[in-house]
Amino acid sequence: MQPGIDDLLRLARGAGDILLAHFDRPLKIDHKGAVDLVTEADRQSEDYLLAEIRRAWPEHSILAEESGQQDGTSDSAWLIDPLDGTTNFAHGLPIFSVSIAFADAQGVQLGVVCDPTRAEAFWAARGQGAWLGQRQLHVSDVRDLVNSLLVTGFPYDRAANPDNNLDYFNHIMLRCRGIRRLGSAALDLAYVAAGRMDGFWEIRLQPWDVAAGMLIAQEAGAVVTRLHGEPDVLRRPCSVLAANPALHPLLLNEMLRVREQRAQP
């Protein structure tokens, strides 16, 4: 028996309730890297999701941010981020989400991105559109870069790794209306789906960061590729370029220009 979108919505809201119970309160915070955090809220949210999935679908595999890959006996798989936006969460900034995707041998079929602080649950089922509650979502109709509002993010090791998105950011910033950095890739993609942002790009992500948001954006009409136009977004390390059909080729052209400049001696 496969899950339905109502199952994913229930799980995401349950995990969101756990996050809200910890939000803006003293937290136990550990470091996975110099600026890469994990909190007790991450772990409790993930423990809840793992327990619920194992109970109802024990044969499914799970790929989760904190516990990694847990293989099952079927082609069905869950990709979960129990708290996307941990740095925001740890600082009391109410911009974070729970991201849950379900995939089978044909790819991602269901996706939910839940923002518990705003009680917003973005969701999509393949071939059935993208939705915020009962409202169907559509990407924006902005057709040129100069009028676009974009969103991006940066890898945690940006100080030590030159592949840190700063060159793309500096190039695009001079050619658009503005760029935001919200701190949750899952929400960034959901906001592209909702037309709140016109485009999103980011590099060196993980499948659990983008699987649900990718489906939601696609079902809302976005073109979603890797940064330089390749189709296999979930191949590690993931990169994403998502925008409406008019804007995507313009952004892609700029990304390719930056890549060419980087390749010059």
The reported pLDDT for the residue numbered 35 is 56
CA distance 247 to 244: 5
CATH of the domain at 248: 3.40.190.80
Task: Select from 205, 200, 177 the least CA-distant residue to 189.
Answer: 200
Same domain, 16 and 113: yes
Same domain, 9 and 113: yes
Looking at the DSSP bridge assignments, the partners of residue 79 are 63, 101
Domain range enclosing 120 = 5-136
Same domain, 9 and 122: yes
User: Of 117, 136, 155, which marks where a domain is finished?
Assistant: 136
Same domain, 215 and 132: no
CA distance 63 to 82: 11
DSSP states of the chain: ----HHHHHHHHHHHHHHHHHHTTS---EEESSSS-EEEHHHHHHHHHHHHHHHHH-TTSEEEETTTEEE--SSS-EEEEEEEE-HHHHHTT-S--EEEEEEEETTEEEEEEEEETTTTEEEEEETTS-EEETTEEP------SGGG-EEEE---TTTTT-S-SSHHHHHHHHTTSSEEE--S-HHHHHHHHHTTSSSEEEEEEE-HHHHHHHHHHHHHTT-EEE-TTS-S-TTSSSEEEEEE-TTTHHHHHHHHHHHHHHHH--
What is the pTM assigned to this prediction? 0.95
Same domain, 23 and 124: yes
Same domain, 126 and 212: no
Same domain, 10 and 50: yes
The reported pLDDT for the residue numbered 36 is 58
The reported pLDDT for the residue numbered 264 is 86
User: Of 111, 136, 161, which marks where a domain is finished?
Assistant: 136
CA distance 174 to 129: 34
The reported pLDDT for the residue numbered 67 is 86
> How many domains in the chain?
2
For 207, residues 6+ apart whose C-beta sits below 8 A from its C-beta are 63, 79, 234, 236, 238
Same domain, 132 and 151: no
Same domain, 181 and 122: no
CA distance 131 to 32: 34
User: Of 136, 165, 183, which marks where a domain is finished?
Assistant: 136
The reported pLDDT for the residue numbered 34 is 62
Same domain, 175 and 83: no
Location of structure tokens 């676009």: 148
CATH of the domain at 33: 3.30.540.10
Same domain, 122 and 213: no
Same domain, 125 and 174: no
- List the chain pLDDT tens, one digit each, 265 residues: 899 999 999 999 999 999 999 998 867 777 766 655 678 999 999 999 999 999 999 999 999 988 888 888 899 999 999 999 999 999 999 999 999 999 999 999 999 999 999 999 999 999 999 999 999 999 999 999 999 999 999 997 878 787 899 999 999 999 999 999 999 999 999 999 999 999 999 999 999 999 999 999 999 999 999 999 999 999 999 999 999 999 999 999 999 999 999 888 7
